[in-house]
Structure 1
């Protein structure tokens, strides 16, 4: 990717990436507060200000590198602090706190999808293909396409049933106590498992079909 094109890509992806990551983290904090844990609020993280959530490597460096090398866009923010023991019903309420992040990405995905469809006057999948082929000069359409892609990636990635991802937390909440304790012990190794999945392209093989199916469903709705 030449320098000019890379800068143009940054200009397109900056707003959707910051929104996707910031709202995702804030959603965890707001739902945790609703269920009794105000830790995020006390630490100043119950905010939609991106500066409160930016993590230099995960929010800036990693997305830039994955964008530059043409892989799927990947990144993270500083996790919003949640003390599950402070929730009114820790194991049950953990499900809603964890699900809030991916749910916020789904909402943003739908909003960006509506913007893209209305900007180009066509269904979602053809619109995405047209923008990705470089055939669209409209800045808003390009930003909306980026918003769809990043929120799709973050939503599905975080729903993987692997602690400490949100899907892992949801699974721990749903499993019987003994099985949930086993899953909890996996959490310290979760990041290493995720890195191994990325390095071996297994993650792409898992997420690819899920993305395609979700795109088809959204294409029929929007």
Structure 2
């Protein structure tokens, strides 16, 4: 029945989205911690946040938002900028490390998908002799494509210039100290505005369209960046 098929497909979509999110989040958060460590701050390392274990980073509400809206977040990585030689520049680099790591992961995921597609082209679908093997290959392929997309979404989402996102913290590093004091006084209001925008994004089509356009542009760039791979397999 159509209703049953829809329910199963929807459930599978949620499972795939959750699984991919749990793969992506440790990359993003560990990148923050690693950059901080390289710059002299071992706070994240001592807190056990430089790890690929997703449950060390998981924030329940962020996971729920990922399932519902397609965007989510994890627990913030603890950072002590006072340990950096150049505090504000160091904080900017730590903030930028997360989104950059997601774009790198998206590129790697796209490269793996492209290589797999090229290998499949040469092997031929007839070599997938069982339905089980074929279904498994399709599931892995879909998961990898989702991995690329969610990495892109997470990178862009975190670059939104509103607290508590990485984009805001990156820009904040280049603002005058008076701006820091203003942010500290109005942090709850600014954070409330951010979450308000996230909630309203489901109803304000302009916000959805703007984000979707930017996401699609980045996605095109990522896939174009691996377009040379088929040439290695003599596929034109």
TM-score, with normalisation over the residues of structure 2?
0.75
Quote the Cα distance in structure 2 between the aligned partners of 1:85 and 1:171.
18
- Corresponding residue for 2:116? 119
Deviations 1:54-85 (A, max 9, x none): 122222x222333xxxxxx1111111111222
> Does residue 69 of structure 2 align to residue 81 of structure 1?
no
* Structure 1 residues 140-219: aligned runs within 5 Å: 140-179=140-179, 181-183=181-183, 185-201=185-201, 202-219=206-223
**In 1, are the aligned partners of 2:110 and 2:145 still within 8 Å (CA)?**
yes
Quote the Cα distance in structure 1 between the aligned partners of 2:68 and 2:179.
38
Deviation at 1:184, TM superposition (A): 5.2
> Does residue 3 of structure 2 align to residue 6 of structure 1?
no
Aligned pair partner of 1:94 in 91, 96, 109: 91
TM-score, with normalisation over the residues of structure 1?
0.79
What is the aligned-residue RMSD (CA, Å)?
Answer: 2.3
Greater Rg by CA = 2
Aligned partner of residue 2 in structure 1, secondary structure: helix
**In 2, are the aligned partners of 1:62 and 1:75 still within 8 Å (CA)?**
yes
- Corresponding residue for 2:229? none
> Does residue 29 of structure 2 align to residue 32 of structure 1?
no
Runs of at least 5 residues in structure 2 that lack an aligned partner in the other structure: 119-136, 227-236
**In 2, are the aligned partners of 1:26 and 1:46 still within 8 Å (CA)?**
yes
Deviation at 1:185, TM superposition (A): 4.8
Deviation at 1:29, TM superposition (A): 1.1
Quote the Cα distance in structure 2 between the aligned partners of 1:7 and 1:218.
28
